[in-house]
Structure formats: structure tokens, C-alpha cells
Amino acid sequence: MPWIILFPLSLTLLIETVIYMFLKWGDIKLFVVASVANIVLNTTMNLILLSITDATAYYIVLISYEIGTTLVEALIITLFMRFKFWKTLLFAVLANGVSYLVGLLLQPVYQTRTTIIVLTIVFLALYLAFEVVTIIFYSKKANKTIK
């Protein structure tokens, strides 16, 4: 059961965080804000979706939640990072759209529990590697500013 939540979360964190970083490359605060927003929103959405048994209702809730998530992420990032809302909204649409499309494209691949576990580990490892690179980049940038 945790893999049903962890798989889409790992995919979302990897794709969306990388896309959001193009708003301000190497900014660790942006990385944390985008990551926390995605962890809360994606986990909540998937817990809600797990409780829906009707296919029509499932897709209505999914699309509604994706649209809402896009707006909420843009608002959260705008407030914490003080970016222009329209620019952040464009990135939110791109990030959520790409994440959703990749998830759809991967559906035929993740039909077994083993595949889901392996992909989750791969996506989380790539996300963590990206985090390490971001921290290193940010610390080098901070050291240049101090000197």
C-alpha cells in the first residue's frame, strides 16, 4: 500500500522540482518550498483518490485536484519566493502537466509491485541526487557571495 502513494510522489518530486528550479536555479529555498508543497498536495490527492471506487468520479476528482494543485503550488511558491504570480503559474502548469503526462505514459510499465518499487527507488534516488547537486551549487554560490 505505501508504494501506491510513494510511486506517484517520487515521480512528482523528481519532475516538478527540476522544472521549478528553472525559476531560480540553485536556490535551496525554492527547492524546499516546491518539495514540501508537492509532498503535501500529492500525498493528499492520492489518499483521496484511493478512497474513490467509481471510475467517472475518480477522473473528475483527479482532474479537479490537478487544476487546484497547479493553482495552489503557484500561490505557495509566489508567496514564499516573491516571484511574479503569472510566471510562477506558467511553471506550475508546465510542472504539473509534464508530471501528469509522464505518469500516464508510465502506466503500462508499472503494472507489477516489483516494477513500482524499483521505479520508486530510482525516482527517489534521482530526486535526492538532484537535491545534493542543488545544495552543492547553492553552497558554492553562497561562498562566492561571502568572499
pLDDT tens, residue by residue, 83-93: 999 999 999 99
> What confidence tier does 129 reach under pLDDT thresholds 50, 70, 90?
very high
This prediction's pTM: 0.87
pLDDT (0 to 100) of residue 109:
84
pLDDT (0 to 100) of residue 31:
92
Mean pLDDT of 31-41: 96
Checking if the pLDDT of 143 tops 70, the result is no
In order, the DSSP letters of the chain are -HHHHHHHHHHHHHHHHHHHHTTSTT-HHHHHHHHHHHHHHHHHHHHHHHT---HHHHHHHHHHHHHHHHHHHHHHHHHHH---HHHHHHHHHHHHHHHHHHHHHHTTT--SHHHHHHHHHHHHHHHHHHHHHHHHHHHHHHHHHH-
pLDDT (0 to 100) of residue 96:
97
